[in-house]
Amino acid sequence: MKDPTFWIEARASGLAAYLALTASVLAGLVLKSKPFGKALKPASVTDTHRFLALVAIGATAVHGVTLLLDSTIHITVANLLVPGTMPYRPLWTGLGVAAAELMAVIYLSFAQRKRIGTKNWRRLHWLAYGVFVAMTVHGVMSGTDTAKPYAVAIYASAIGAVTGAVCFRALGRVTSGARESRRAPSPT
């Protein structure tokens, strides 16, 4: 019988990476939400957001390394770096590889914000939503535990929380825009 340690670790680290990514996205949304923006210190929330992103990257790296070490699936380093080359469900695992690489680029952009400009940095940062969607699809379509109740609960909770936070943030922008237009002087 094969030792399942690496297979269990690969699955656990994949879910841990997804949870950390979800928490980082939520922290980023809280940072820009009007009601929370005044109650929380932006520097603290930014530090938390960046830390959670780093945890997600670290857990993703553990996920990849444990897949390499596992004997259940035979993959190479190239399979972990080149999207679509994994022998197991290449489309869905490739989506995870591409999302992980983009997550790392977005994280590294924090240090390059002044160099690339705030406008370009924000454009790049918007791709974090795509990373979240891609990682969700990757987990659901290539995860071996997807149908298990705990996995369903994790994915449903993450999708619900991020969707709710996005709507809350969008609603805050709409209502604050309406308030500002009511305060603007009449053009007559």
* Cα(175)–Cα(90) distance, integer angstroms: 44
77 located within any domain: yes
Q: Taking the CB of residue 137, how many other CB atoms lie within 10 A of it? A: 15
**30 lies in some domain:** yes
Asked if the structure places residue 188 within a domain, the reply is: no
pLDDT of residue 54: 97
In 57-114, DSSP assigns E strands to: none
- The tally of domains found in the chain comes to 1
pLDDT digits 0-9 by tens, 50-82: 999 999 999 999 999 999 999 888 899 999 999
Residue ranges making up the domain that contains 15? 5-181
Residue 123 lies in a domain: yes
Task: Check residue 174 and give left, alpha or beta (phi > 0: left; psi -120 to 50: alpha).
Answer: alpha
Write the pLDDT tens digit of every residue in 98-133.
Answer: 999 999 999 999 999 999 999 999 999 999 999 999
Is 75 part of any domain?
yes
> Could you tell me if residue 187 is inside a domain?
no
Flag whether 72 is in a domain: yes
In a domain? residue 121? yes
